[in-house]
Structure 1
Amino acid sequence: MDAIDEKIIAELTRNARISHSDLAGKVLLSRNAVRQRVERLERQGHIAGYTIVRAGHDTGTVVSALVLVYRQDRMRGGDVLAALKRIPEVVICEILSGDFDIMVRLEAASLERVRSIWEDIAKMPGVRDTVTALTLSSIVNRPRGERRTTPQG
């Protein structure tokens, strides 16, 4: 599997019903090339129906991490933001006030993939430093529609 296959699997993990056209736009390939890759991944056993099955990995397990990014120049760091948008495993990217410039939440299929993405982020032109923390457990994770607001008294 190459990096494009990893991106395809990450996108299918996020939304297994995504169309080949939409998937092609996310991984920057033609619709036909995506269809061929998905069929190959199915034949190889990485994709089974609407469930991602990865040989050598625990199925259904997602490794989450927070990467706090220091940019060299807060005001001219648009290239870093554009590059982060292209990483399929980036599920949240927020600009922060305070010491850190950007908070990135990754959800990847393996610890190795998290490490690879961290290395890519650290090497980006415009990134001065990073701090990474792996998620050990999730205590609260509410979908947007289920978030409560504090009642006004």
Structure 2
Amino acid sequence: MDRFDRAILDVLAVDGRISVADLARKIGLTKSPTQARLRRLERDGTIRGYRALVDPIRLGRDHVAFAEVKLTDTREAALTAFNEAVLAIPEIEECHMIAGAFDYLLKVRTNSMAGYRTLLAERISTLPNVAQTSTYVAMQAVKEGGLDAG
């Protein structure tokens, strides 16, 4: 990966809908080599896809909580079961395995504290091997998803 590949990635991180011609102009190459580089970055998995950044507040999902999760079992089968179950809960935006005093950190987005409380009781706490959870409620997003939160 050279400076042109990195420049392509930097531009696409800000504007994933930019035309190839505009992308080429921004990085200082012609359209053909820019398009070839772009296809290679997609093919080799460096660019995993494109998506719309949806405003969750406009969708009524403005309650953000972070949940620390401790498991009763951290052997590979238990971790796999937990990981697979987490993928089925759309309100869990992010799930990170943590090296520290707890096992996972979840970023959860719901419509309200009551909605979060229900999700925690009925879905998160019943995930495989969950022993304990601790919740931290976000008051404001300053930077989120690689972009400032406005």
After TM superposition, the score normalised by the length of structure 2 is 0.52
Matches within 5 A, 1:2-151: 60=60, 62-75=62-75, 76-119=78-121, 120-138=123-141, 140-144=142-146
C-alpha offsets along residues 27-49 of structure 1, whole Å, 9 cap, x if unaligned?
xxxxxxxxxxxxxxxxxxxxxxx
Give distance in 2, aligned partners of 1:105 and 1:142. Answer: 11
Q: Kindly indicate whether the alpha-carbon contact (under 8 Å) linking 2:63 and 2:110 is maintained by their aligned counterparts in 1.
A: yes
Structure 1 145/108 Cα, relative in aligned 2: closer, same or farther at 3 Å?
Answer: closer
The separation in 1 between residues aligned to 2:147 and 2:136, in whole angstroms, is 27
Structure 2 letter corresponding to 1:130: T
How many angstroms does 1:144 deviate by? 2.9
Code of the aligned partner of 1:89:
E
- Determine which structure has more spread, i.e. the larger CA radius of gyration: 2
What is the letter of the counterpart of residue 102 of structure 1?
Answer: Y
Cα displacement (A) at 1:60: 4.3
Structure 1 gap segments, 5+ residues each: 1-49, 53-57, 147-153
Q: Please tell me the residue identity of whatever aligns with 2:66.
A: L
Alignment: residue pair count: 92
Q: What TM-score, normalized to structure 1?
A: 0.51
Structure 1 residues 98 and 114: alpha-carbon distance in aligned structure 2, compared to 1, 3 A threshold = same
Q: Secondary structure at the match of 1:112?
A: helix
Identity rate of aligned residues, in percent?
22
Instruction: Quickly say closer, same or farther: Cα 1:115–1:144, change in 2 above 3 A.
Output: same
- 5+ residue gaps, structure 2, are 1-53
CA separation of 1:126/1:136 partners in 2, compared to 1, >3 Å: closer, same or farther? same
Distance 1:71 1:145, change over 3 A: same
Counterpart Cα distance in 1 of 2:145 and 2:96: 18
